[in-house]
Structure 1
């Protein structure tokens, strides 16, 4: 086995290790949320949305500490089309149609999709700055408050400091998962920079296309399990929450890097394709709350065009 093959094996393995670590965190905190009687919407959109973004969080921290903000930018931007133009369409195609189980009104879905696309607007000028970071973070919390007000049916007075709600095993899972995720993320960022040099491709493009697939393994796993079990409905709130969490993470990492200039030329094309794809997704889902196989093919075609254009841009 030559050095390049060995490094590629480590790179791929790191994605599965980070997936396993994030799984420990999601499992422990989800059980904890249920014990605390946290409203279902907050669990689905906020808690699980952020926790399934643990890989993106860890990779972003490693990218910031290594002084390569283009890695977190590419990873977080790439995650949006992966969720809405790859994972969900594949579910629709292979599952012969899917039902979007979410309990949200159409205005709420539109609001969530709008916040998910906000980072694409921020990078149109090839630069992300502190002001944009603050706006993205604020916009996320405004959307959460609006969605919570509009969609939560039952409310509970919860004391989050009840020690009896925590178990030793849950705490161990969170600590172990966090350690695994942080360790793997450092390897992923290091190898991304390595392959960037070997292939003479900007780290941004590797993060946008490859890294975004790897850090969305939790969402991919949910999709694969749904296909295997023959489920026709998906917890759409989890996917919306994960996409929206990318926005708040984008804002936080932007503040941590101060001002960053991203030297690539494809942001406008990327923005147009992603907005077109999300607009079609919204149109397909707003009437019957379903995505048909034919509609899934249409969305997947946009993702393929997106990847091909970005690959072309990375080599030009």
Structure 2
């Protein structure tokens, strides 16, 4: 036995390069990965929000840009890691599954939580969603969802399945370039909106922090940012490597693992920010975070992975995942349009759609 190799092997398992032989150990490492992502995303987001507060940008714009970019980082790292490992199904499943989770699970349960807190605190119920949010970031979210589904209807770019056969449906590199153009348009729109509304503060706008030493404070924020990024990268590797091992053990398709375990695990930062924003009375921050994260999941995560290698698309994505993503987006925006809030009943509808989707995917596509 090579004693020098054992510490090296343990290190490779701990940083997510290899999976252990024990399923129990894999499950523990998956949990460790989720915790690492959650803590890293928390540090990443807190530092980003503080930096944004220094620029005096309204909360909904902060949520749709800097916060959403921070909380989408886990999805990007998990999907890129999966793509580099030749597991494109994980990339697509994780990105689309995160969109489904963000609206159906996070917005749905947060609306129910807001209704409960409103009755307890005797305040107005419903998560605020302005018309500007719906016709601005909301439009980009809907357009991106429709675009990625249309792109996935065709075979292009030479994508292959894990068995080596040509993929019937795929996302090609030239389609990824178009998605990145949409991302650029979204960022430019958000920047212009932020600049136009810098001094248009809402009631929930916090004033810039007062600190004695600005240089030390900025250094602290940068250190939080880097530590958060490192924890997210570590957690992402642990999550991908061990989730694939568990999927193989239970003979569950990697697409389903990406749509469920990985999607919910990498959406924990969004969930954390959204729940905290509801509890603290800053609902607009959480809503902007979810909308921005969905735009980035499609236009950045899938596009970057498709640039690395053309992504094969499974039939489940064509006939179930893609249409349900569009349905949830339309339902969220449509239910919020009239009263400019996502009510408790609207949250129940979104959550019911998500639960129905999981049941349908589990019983009809789990073994496919």
| CA RMSD between the two structures | 2.7
Write the mapping of 1:123-142 to structure 2, written as runs, cut at 5 A.
Answer: 123-125=152-154, 126-142=169-185
User: Relative to structure 2, which stretch is displaced further, 164-173 or 73-82?
Assistant: 164-173
2:120 equivalent to 1:120: no
Alpha carbons 1:79, 1:243 under 8 Å: kept: yes
Alpha carbons 2:82, 2:240 under 8 Å: kept: yes
Write the mapping of 1:80-95 to structure 2, written as runs, cut at 5 A.
Answer: 80-95=99-114
Q: Deviations over 1:41-83 (max 9, x none)?
A: 6533221111111211221231122121211111001111111
User: Residue in 2 aligned with 1:107?
Assistant: 135
2:273 equivalent to 1:251: no
Q: What TM-score does the superposition give when structure 2 sets the normalisation length?
A: 0.75
Out of 323, 344, 348, the residue aligned to residue 293 of structure 1 is: 344
Write the mapping of 1:13-162 to structure 2, written as runs, cut at 5 A.
Answer: 13-36=32-55, 43-96=62-115, 97-102=125-130, 104=132, 106-117=134-145, 118-125=147-154, 126-149=169-192, 152-154=195-197
Alpha carbons 2:62, 2:288 under 8 Å: kept: no
Q: Secondary structure at the match of 2:132?
A: coil
User: Residue in 2 aligned with 1:159?
Assistant: none
C-alpha deviation, 1:264, in angstroms? 4.2
C-alpha deviation, 1:89, in angstroms? 1.2
Cα pair distance change 1:226/1:50, threshold 3 Å: closer
C-alpha deviation, 1:151, in angstroms? 6.4
Cα pair distance change 1:165/1:146, threshold 3 Å: farther
Out of 284, 307, 311, the residue aligned to residue 335 of structure 2 is: 284
User: Residue in 2 aligned with 1:176?
Assistant: 227
User: Residue in 2 aligned with 1:160?
Assistant: none
Mark the runs of 5 or more structure 1 residues left unpaired by the alignment. 157-162
Q: Secondary structure at the match of 1:104?
A: helix
2:63 equivalent to 1:5: no
Alpha carbons 2:104, 2:351 under 8 Å: kept: yes
Distance of 1:154 and 1:290 partners within structure 2: 21
Q: What TM-score does the superposition give when structure 1 sets the normalisation length?
A: 0.86
Q: Deviations over 1:270-304 (max 9, x none)?
A: 22222222212111100111122222222111111
Q: Secondary structure at the match of 2:127?
A: strand
Q: Deviations over 1:118-145 (max 9, x none)?
A: 3333323321110111011101221332
C-alpha deviation, 1:148, in angstroms? 4.2
Write the mapping of 1:201-280 to structure 2, written as runs, cut at 5 A.
Answer: 201-226=252-277, 229=279, 231=281, 233-235=283-285, 236-247=287-298, 248-257=300-309, 259-280=310-331
Out of 301, 308, 312, the residue aligned to residue 359 of structure 2 is: 308
Alpha carbons 2:47, 2:221 under 8 Å: kept: yes
The structure that has the greater radius of gyration is: 2
Distance of 2:216 and 2:131 partners within structure 1: 28
Q: Secondary structure at the match of 1:315?
A: coil
Q: Deviations over 1:80-137 (max 9, x none)?
A: 1111111111122232242225572542254132244133333233211101110111
Alpha carbons 1:81, 1:303 under 8 Å: kept: yes
Alpha carbons 1:85, 1:277 under 8 Å: kept: yes
Cα pair distance change 1:130/1:145, threshold 3 Å: same
C-alpha deviation, 1:4, in angstroms? 2.1
Mark the runs of 5 or more structure 2 residues left unpaired by the alignment. 1-20, 116-124, 155-168, 200-213
Distance of 1:38 and 1:237 partners within structure 2: 13
- Between the two proteins, the alignment pairs up a number of residues equal to 307
C-alpha deviation, 1:34, in angstroms? 3.0
Alpha carbons 1:41, 1:148 under 8 Å: kept: no
